Structure 1
Amino acid sequence: METACISPLRLPTKEIQSSMRADSLKEDQTLPGQGGRVLSSSTTLGNQGTNVRPQSAVAIGSPVFRDRGNSFSEDERRPHSQQSDPADHWQMSPKVQLSPVQPMGPLPALDRSFVSATLRSANRINKDCLDYGLPKRESLGKRLHRNLSDSRLLESMGSDSASVTSLRSNYSVLSPIRHQDVRNRSFLEGSLLGSGALLGADELDRYFPERRVGVYIATWNMQGEKELPANLEDLLLPTDSEFTQDFYVIGVQEGCPDRREWEIRLQETLGPYYVMLYAASHGVLYLSVFARRDLIWFCSEVEHATVTTRIISQIKTKGAVGITFTFFGTSFLFITSHFTSGDSKVYERVLDYNKIVEALALPKGLPDTNPYRSTSSDVTTRFDQVFWFGDFNFRLSKDRAEVENAMTRTVGRDMSPLVEHDQLSKEMKDGSIFKGFHEAPIHFFPTYKFDIGCDIYDTTSKQRTPSYTDRILFRSRQADDIKAIMYTSCSGIKTSDHRPVIGVFQVKLRPGRDNIPLGAGQFDRSLYLEGIRRRITRELKRKEAMKNQSNSTICSIS
């Protein structure tokens, strides 16, 4: 009978001990919330209230146990039956006080302006003086993908990583242009539906995904005052509107003697984002069109015409001036006019209207976008979108006392007690004037006649009745093409006996063809430079005045 020999247990060598220690530390993990016990990776956990026991234990005499045992707390070294509940131990532990976090260096500069009364701090960024450091390539690529107006092109290029990398390396948020488009597109000929043309559907959707453009209209009878208001921001940049519009069209009746100075002031107020596309005049009637500088490439050549309604044609105080152009495939007509004055001269004002619609010779060289819906007797039928504004001189057919009583009875912005006596509204309902035109609801008080410099209606001996003489009307070939966003008066400008009237509209656009004479980016360059020069000079003077004022408030005690 053979006897089995059992060799005595040999302790592992240093290399094996080191390997065992490493393997044990890899397999065993510390379970949070269990008093810091060491568990093997194969341990199965039950509910939180059950005791967790490792399936394999490490020999007490091994170096691994000695190393890990040094990290056990006194409570964990006791037998399991004598250990305290980990939850009680957690509750009894004192509150840990963390030391304040100290920045490793100076905090980075903030990249935006803000004002916080709670934090008692403010930060203002002068974007013109920023040091444009390039961000990380990853964040730049994300911003490019988010900001590019033609995101569909990026999506179609998503599988071509080389193309996307080449695109994003330009550090630009402009719409990408393929080499093939540069080779093939001349922008001189368009297809039947305008696809691939400069004024076609692709370009239109790139700049206006909803195919609507913002138009700002302002009309003001300046009463021939030589001195312009110190600030025109209330006229062009009202505080109740957050964003600017794509086109600004300003009509003036009885304008100031220096028309060029008026246009420079408009350019100075609108700033470098806008250029004057065109301007025309008829005596003291001024009409100016400003456009965003990146949109002038999609405008046709601009045409204008004038009409005199006075019997003596040399006196150009009453009449009209019109400007027309095509934007993409949509034709626009803007008319500002000044009708005959007088409370009872309704018939004469209707004659003024009829003469203007028949005699305004537009368009001249521009093609009619829809000749089948045009008539030779009405100029407003030859264009897709028409805005007619000015001093129409229609009055309220009530005496002053009744009008003032109605004004005191108005609730909120409801001006219906006044509008129901308006001569223009009555004539439009009867169909004798402004056929096919519409007007946004009136929610402002009459704009005529004020004492200059205050909000008091006429206190002269004539005691004129307050009236809605200044209006903005519109019509379109397709229903609902023009949507009125805002229609109000500008009460902040008081240098005339009239208050300006402003309106904001969203206008439907349609793609066009390149068979029209393009404006090729033309605008009044000298006016632009002078307006920006004055704007910079004004800002420098303002900063210098603020600096001198701050220095004058510092007093020194010797």
Structure 2
Amino acid sequence: MDVLSPLGYIKVTAVRMQGLLLLVLVKRQHVPFISGINTNYTRTGLGGYWGNKGGVAICFRMYGYAICFLNCHLPPHMSNIDQRLSDFDKILEMQNFEKEDIPNILDHDLLVWFGDLNFRIEDYGLCFVQESISNQDYSVLWKKDQLNMIKKTDSLLQQFQEGPLLFQPTYKFDVNSENYDSSEKRRKPAWTDRILWRLKRELLNNPVDSEERERFFSVTLKSYESHMKYKISDHKPVTATFEVELKSLLLTTPITLVPEGQWITPYDLVVSYNQSPDFISSNWDWIGLHKVVIRHVKDYVSYAWVKDNLVSSSEGLHQVYINAGGFPEEGGEFLLSYYSNNLQGIVGLSEPFQISKNDLTPEDWREKKGDPLMY
């Protein structure tokens, strides 16, 4: 976050199960259009009692479309291919999010599936595999990659797309090196670390040139590569970059925040906001005051419960009182957020604004505070 937050990324949620970690970071301008955030996990290690194997998932709606990221760690070893498939089926079966319109993980518009899937290269011996890698003749190895072989006959896996494996197998390396396993076990290299995606059939079959389409969501893979320079693991990390084109199902954010008057520290202030007619508020909604560079949703300098601190409400316009106890005395550039408990996310962000350092005496401030533009 030291690197990404200055670039405008905000961590909206995360889920962890032992060594499996999944984070979702979103550019600030998109955050109010992310809603319905939920996390889930499924243990498959030791018959479902241990979380060293299994899957963690984060699902949400983005501009009205249902998105899910699924990070899996499946069983290792060449012979455990059936167990890998069984664990994947179990993860899909148990990843339910208690939503009427999305009862199962496969009901999302986009499912991105990735992780240490542990599929191996069959038949070929170690020397042949290593020689093929040295010659960058990867295509001959693809034919015996277990995942590629299974996709030819498995109807579910056929629904998942993957980019071409134009990089060398990412497992198994000696730690702190670029050399494949030199231990006594001499593990055969394999593409264990994979990134796949699946679009809902309705979106796949939607003609691009149709003028009558109501929903359009397109995903294009821009890059799929490994990174040899990282040496702290016996795996090499894999990244994928996608370009998403969509027809937004949300034209406006549910909440529009407006800072009232001139903000001067350290005096209490009032925030105004408008809400869309179909937005349902909760007693646990809150408004946060953030510095412009936000690391995560709860990275605020002050906040107020919306219902508890409501000052006035009329014709969709609401005003909420914020205590200045957490305001930084030096002032600076800030913005406001509205967090919806029902939607589990920020549904409104203000434009950045300035909070000035107070140079007034208490008497001068009390006189100005009577000005309706100030409060």
What range describes the TM-score normalised by the shorter chain of this pair?
A: 0.5 to 0.7
1:316 counterpart SS class: strand
Residue 524 in 1 paired to residue 296 in 2? yes
Report the Cα offset of residue 281 of structure 1.
1.2
1:282 paired residue number? 17
Return the match for 1:493 from 230, 242, 245: 230
1:506 paired residue number? 243
Q: Matches of 2:93 and 2:86 in 1, distance apart?
A: 11
Q: Matches of 1:400 and 1:337 in 2, distance apart?
A: 26
Q: Contact conserved, 2:68 with 2:105, CA < 8 A, in 1?
A: no
2:81 paired residue number? 346
* Runs of 4+ residues over 6 Å off in structure 1: 516-523
1:127-142 paired onto structure 2 within 5 Å: none
Q: Matches of 1:383 and 1:516 in 2, distance apart?
A: 23
1:97-496 paired onto structure 2 within 5 Å: 267-272=1-6, 273-362=8-97, 364-365=98-99, 367-368=101-102, 379-380=105-106, 382-397=107-122, 398-410=124-136, 415-431=138-154, 434-477=157-200, 478-479=203-204, 481-496=218-233
Q: Matches of 2:96 and 2:113 in 1, distance apart?
A: 15
Report the Cα offset of residue 517 of structure 1.
7.3
Report the Cα offset of residue 491 of structure 1.
1.4
**Paired AA for residue 507 in structure 1:** V
**Paired AA for residue 393 in structure 1:** N
Deviations 1:505-551 (A, max 9, x none): 0123232256687999998356699xxxxxxxxxxxxxxxxxxxxxx
Deviations 1:323-342 (A, max 9, x none): 01111121100000000111
**Paired AA for residue 389 in structure 1:** F
Report the Cα offset of residue 471 of structure 1.
0.1
2:352 paired residue number? none
In the superposition, relative to structure 1, how do residues 335 and 517 fare at CA in structure 2: closer, same or farther (>3 Å)? Answer: farther
Report the Cα offset of residue 298 of structure 1.
0.9
Q: Contact conserved, 2:12 with 2:297, CA < 8 A, in 1?
A: no
* RMSD, aligned α-carbons: 2.5
In the superposition, relative to structure 1, how do residues 482 and 338 fare at CA in structure 2: closer, same or farther (>3 Å)? Answer: same
Q: Contact conserved, 2:75 with 2:83, CA < 8 A, in 1?
A: yes
In the superposition, relative to structure 1, how do residues 520 and 509 fare at CA in structure 2: closer, same or farther (>3 Å)? Answer: farther
Report the Cα offset of residue 481 of structure 1.
2.0
Q: Matches of 1:494 and 1:528 in 2, distance apart?
A: 36
Which protein has the bigger helix share? 1
Report the Cα offset of residue 497 of structure 1.
0.3
Q: Contact conserved, 1:444 with 1:488, CA < 8 A, in 2?
A: yes
Report the Cα offset of residue 476 of structure 1.
0.8
In the superposition, relative to structure 1, how do residues 527 and 462 fare at CA in structure 2: closer, same or farther (>3 Å)? Answer: farther
Q: Contact conserved, 1:330 with 1:509, CA < 8 A, in 2?
A: no
**Paired AA for residue 269 in structure 1:** V
1:145 paired residue number? none
Deviations 1:404-425 (A, max 9, x none): 12123336xxx21121110011
Determine what percentage of the aligned residue pairs are the same residue: 30
Q: TM-score, normalised by structure 2?
A: 0.62
1:453 counterpart SS class: coil
How many pairs does the alignment contain?
250
Task: Note the residue ranges of structure 2 that are not aligned, 5 or more in a row.
Answer: 205-216, 255-277, 289-294, 302-375
Larger radius of gyration: 1
Deviations 1:473-508 (A, max 9, x none): 001122282110000001121100001100000123
Q: Matches of 2:18 and 2:46 in 1, distance apart?
A: 15
1:317 counterpart SS class: strand
Q: Contact conserved, 1:297 with 1:521, CA < 8 A, in 2?
A: no
**Paired AA for residue 142 in structure 2:** V
In the superposition, relative to structure 1, how do residues 366 and 289 fare at CA in structure 2: closer, same or farther (>3 Å)? Answer: farther
2:148 counterpart SS class: helix
1:189 paired residue number? none
Report the Cα offset of residue 270 of structure 1.
1.3
**Paired AA for residue 481 in structure 1:** S
Deviations 1:139-167 (A, max 9, x none): xxxxxxxxxxxxxxxxxxxxxxxxxxxxx
In the superposition, relative to structure 1, how do residues 350 and 393 fare at CA in structure 2: closer, same or farther (>3 Å)? Answer: same
Deviations 1:227-261 (A, max 9, x none): xxxxxxxxxxxxxxxxxxxxxxxxxxxxxxxxxxx
2:248 counterpart SS class: coil
Q: Contact conserved, 2:14 with 2:24, CA < 8 A, in 1?
A: yes
**Paired AA for residue 301 in structure 1:** G
Q: Matches of 1:307 and 1:516 in 2, distance apart?
A: 32
